[in-house]
């Protein structure tokens, strides 16, 4: 399969109002001259980015405001996007986390995370796949999972499980695709410096985080070169290789200690449950 070439093509980026999605949108515009569909809930951030990219990168940008935790909004957004734009690439990046004791995660918050991180990703992938199978057009999807989907992360148990779901979903589904010009890739970064990791619970883990520019660049590379599963950063890849050689219970136990320590430092050792 040939590499994707984004110049003058439309690329959807969900979660483009901050962090990884915003940076991928910027790099796609400035370095690849892609036209962009920017999706998130915060209209002001998306409009600001649209103004900047249209003026400075000279690309076309469309803003779609949608709440991906609401399935009706997901469908409305996809109707709108597939009606107007000849989509070429799609980066399903929007996501939310919860870092804390699972017992303290409210049910509503859990459902919102499940809808955003899992249900919307499956729904959008279904819509895109049906579109590309019907048209036979060239294109690709990048689903943003996480290393937390490859290795279970205590104190992010539910988040970690949502990322494992979409990782396995994408890896399996890719083998069902009939359109030979269409690819489904999954991206599994470790920690990144973004709004998601800006909270005080993550304070002790800042040394592990990858700059967002590097994470964005490697994500675009994974989509462009149609990688099946891609982990950015040599250290993450080497670390992941060795972690796979060790018993899962041992590795998860070690991770548990690190995350528990970070949480205790941020919240004190005897949190209310
Ligand atoms: N940061 C990390 O360490 C890390 C590591 C591995 C993987 N990831 C993954 O990378 C992706 C991007 O995360 P990030 O680190 O860039 O976090 P971020 O800065 O918090 O950005 C999250 C993005 O998702 C959007 N979003 C959240 N809920 C939404 C909803 N209900 N509907 C529509 N958009 C929604 C947010 O926009 P609005 O608030 O404007 O809606 C925002 O643009 C996530 O899938 C995350 O799981 C992050």
Q: Which residues contact 190 (CB under 8 A, 6 or more apart)?
A: 146, 147, 208, 209, 210, 231, 232, 233, 236
Residue 140 lies in a domain: yes
Using CA positions, which residue lies closest to atom 41 of ligand 1? 41
pLDDT, residue 270, reads 47
Which letter does DSSP use for residue 40 in this model? E
Number of compact structural domains in the chain: 1
Site to substitute for ligand 1 among 13, 15, 205, most atoms within 8 A of C-beta: 15
Q: Facing residues of 90 across strands? A: 12, 141
Tell me how far apart the alpha carbons of residues 178 and 183 are, in angstroms, rounded to a whole number.
10
Q: Is the pTM of this model over 0.85?
A: yes
What is the distance between the alpha carbons of residues 40 and 56, in angstroms, rounded to a whole number?
Answer: 22
Q: What CATH number is associated with residue 38?
A: 3.40.50.720
Task: Give ∠ CA 70-75-81 in degrees, rounded to 5.
Answer: 125
Distance CA 64, CA 238 (A): 38
Choose the residue to mutate in 95, 117, 205 for probing ligand 1, maximizing ligand atoms within 8 Å of C-beta. Answer: 95
For residue 21, which atom of ligand 1 is closest to its CA? 16
How far is the C-alpha of 93 from the C-alpha of 91, rounded, in Å? 6
Per-residue pLDDT at 138: 97
Low-confidence ranges of the chain (pLDDT < 50): 270-273
pLDDT for the residue numbered 271: 43
* 118 belongs to a structural domain: yes
Q: Look at residue 266 in the predicted model and tell me its pLDDT.
A: 85
pLDDT computed for residue 200 by the predictor: 83
- Provide CB contacts within 8 A for 73, sequence distance 6+: 66, 67
Whose alpha carbon is nearest atom 44 of ligand 1?
95
- When computed from its CA atoms, the radius of gyration of the chain, rounded to whole angstroms, is 18
Q: Active site residue: 159, 187, 230, 259, which one?
A: 159
Specify if 272 maps to a domain: no
Give domain status of residue 4, yes or no. no
Instruction: Identify the pLDDT of residue 228.
Output: 96
Q: Is 155 marked active-site? A: no
Question: Could you tell me which residues come within 8 angstroms of residue 16 by beta carbon, excluding any fewer than 6 positions away?
Answer: 22, 24, 25, 36, 38, 39, 40, 46, 49, 93
Name the strand (E) or helix (H) holding 169. Answer: helix 157-173
- Give a yes or no: residue 65 inside a domain: yes
Residue located nearest, by CA, to atom 47 of ligand 1: 95
Instruction: Confirm whether 1 is domain-assigned.
Output: no
Ligand 1, pocket residues at CB < 6 Å: 15-21, 40-42, 45, 66-69, 93-97, 116, 144, 146, 189, 191-192, 194-197
Q: Look up tokens 């010009």; give the residue.
A: 181
pLDDT at 268: 63
Residue 192 domain boundaries: 10-233+242-267
Residue 229, classified by CB atoms within 10 Å of its CB into exposed (0-12), middle (13-18) or buried (19+), is: middle
Distance from C-alpha of 180 to C-alpha of 154, rounded to nearest angstrom: 39
> So what's the pLDDT on residue 85?
67
What per-residue confidence (pLDDT) applies to 273?
32
CB neighbour list of residue 118: distance below 8 Å, 6 or more residues apart: 162, 165, 166
163 Cα: distance to centroid of ligand 1 (angstroms): 12
């Amino acid at each position: 399969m040939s590499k994707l070439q984004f110049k003058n093509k439309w690329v959807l980026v969900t979660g483009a109002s901050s962090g990884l999605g915003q940076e991928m949108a910027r790099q796609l515009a400035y370095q690849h001259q892609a036209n962009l569909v920017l999706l998130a809930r915060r209209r002001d951030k998306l409009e600001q980015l649209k103004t900047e990219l249209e003026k400075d990168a000279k690309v076309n940008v469309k803003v779609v405001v949608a709440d991906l935790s609401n399935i009706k909004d997901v469908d409305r957004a996809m109707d709108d996007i597939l009606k107007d734009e000849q989509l070429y690439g799609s980066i399903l990046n929007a996501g939310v986390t919860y870092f804390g004791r699972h017992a303290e995660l409210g049910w509503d918050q859990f459902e919102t995370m499940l809808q955003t991180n899992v249900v919307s990703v499956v729904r959008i992938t279904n819509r895109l796949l049906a579109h590309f199978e019907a048209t036979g057009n060239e294109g690709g999807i990048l689903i943003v999972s996480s290393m937390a989907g490859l290795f279970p992360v205590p104190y992010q148990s539910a988040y970690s499980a949502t990322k494992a779901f979409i990782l396995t979903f994408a890896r399996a589904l890719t083998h069902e695709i009939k359109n030979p010009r269409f690819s489904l890739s999954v991206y599994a970064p470790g920690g990144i410096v973004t709004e998601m990791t800006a909270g005080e619970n993550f304070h002790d883990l800042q040394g592990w985080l990858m700059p967002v520019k590097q994470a964005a660049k490697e994500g675009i590379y994974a989509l462009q070169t149609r990688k099946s599963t891609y982990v950015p950063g040599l250290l993450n890849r080497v670390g992941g290789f060795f972690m796979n050689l060790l018993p899962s219970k041992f590795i998860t136990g070690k991770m548990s200690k690190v995350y528990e320590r970070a949480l205790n430092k941020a919240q004190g050792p005897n949190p209310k449950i």
